[in-house]
Amino acid sequence: MTGTKTSKVGIKVWSDYVCPFCMLAESPLHEATHDLDVEIEWMPFELRPHPTPTLRPEDEYLPAVWARSVYPMARRMNVDITLPTVSPQPYTRLAFEGYQYAAEHGKGAAYTPRVLRAFFQENRDIGQLDVLTAIASELGLDESGFAAALNAGTYTEAHQEALRTAAAYRVSVVPTLVIGGRHRIEGVPAAAQIRKAVLDTQAEQAVARGAACGIDGC
């Protein structure tokens, strides 16, 4: 008889470092999956790639969105988050190339949440190489190697390939979560939504395994 052990469920989370809702998505993601066998992969998506102008916190739009949506949600979720004063908001290509370096060196899962906190809790300009290098050093990455790789554009093509993956998944808003390759959630999810999608995926995997016979029987 086949066993009941489930396979690890992959969760892809598309985000941009200047999107406050991506930071707010982190809490329900971890709440939903802390006791489940999942692999969370943060995926890059640039909301405003160069040369598209980025937003300015002194204009009307950002304060209005934060007052109407971000701050009320953050209070409900008990998340410390503040509209950064960095103006204009940074482009995120360089930070995402830093993510590729971090991922290759085993720190991808820690890098994205740390960059989000740097921007939304510490008001740091994450478009600057020295800021990103300091974050990399905090995470135990080689400071000089990280800076040299970003200066040389070593991970530019890896980042562009990641953006092509986002296009293939038809990502147009962040956060976007794809769980088990099939279950899609756009926007800040509820923990219950994520948990249900993971458990449904595990059930689907169990059914698929049960539809075959092995050398020891069915």
What is the 3-class SS of the chain, one letter each residue? Answer: CCCCCCCCEEEEEEECCCCHHHHHHHHHHHHHHCCCCEEEEEEECCCCCCCCCCCCCCCCHHHHHHHHHHHHHHHHHCCCCCCCCCCCCCCCHHHHHHHHHHHHCCCHHHHHHHHHHHHHCCCCCCCCHHHHHHHHHHCCCCHHHHHHHHHHCCCHHHHHHHHHHHHHCCCCCCCEEEECCCEEEECCCCHHHHHHHHHHHHHHHHHHHHCCCECCEC
Banded model confidence at residue 2, pLDDT cuts 50, 70, 90: very low
Residue 210 has pLDDT above 90, yes or no: no
Answer whether 178's CB lies under 8 Å from 12's CB.
yes
Q: What is the pLDDT of residue 1?
A: 35
Q: What is the pLDDT of residue 214?
A: 64
The radius of gyration of the chain from alpha carbons, rounded to an integer in Å, stands at 19
Q: What is the mean pLDDT of the chain?
A: 94
Banded model confidence at residue 216, pLDDT cuts 50, 70, 90: low
Q: pTM to 2 decimals?
A: 0.91
